[in-house]
Structure 1
Amino acid sequence: MTALLNVHVEQKRYGERTVLDRIGFALQAGEIVSLLGPSGCGKSTLLRIIAGLEREFDGRLALAGQGYEGLNRGIGFIFQEPRLLPWLTVAENVAFDLGSGGANDPRVGELLAEVGLTGLNNALPKQLSGGQAQRVAIARGLFRHPQVLLLDEPFSAVDAFTRMRLQDLLLEVAKQHGTTVLLVTHDPDEALYLSDRVLVMSQSGIDVELEVPLARPRDRRHPALSELKNAALTALFAAHAI
Structure 2
Amino acid sequence: MKDQDIQEGNDNNEGRSRRSFLTKGLNIALVTAVTGTAYLAGCKGAEEDEIGPPEDLMREHGILNRVLLIYDHFLRMLAANEPVAPQLITASAGIIRTFIEEYHEKQEEDFLFPRFEKAHQLTDLVQVLRAQHQQGRLITGQLLQLGKQPQVSADGDKQRLSSLIAAFIHMYRPHEAREDTVLFPALRKIISKQEFDSLGEDFEKREHQLFGEGGFELFVDKVAGIEQQLGIYDLAQFTPRIQA
Larger strand proportion, structure 1 or 2?
A: 1
User: TM range, normalised to the smaller chain?
Assistant: under 0.3
Relative contact order, CA 8 A, sep 6+: which one is greater?
2
Larger helix proportion, structure 1 or 2?
A: 2
**TM-score of the superposition, structure 1-length normalised?**
0.25
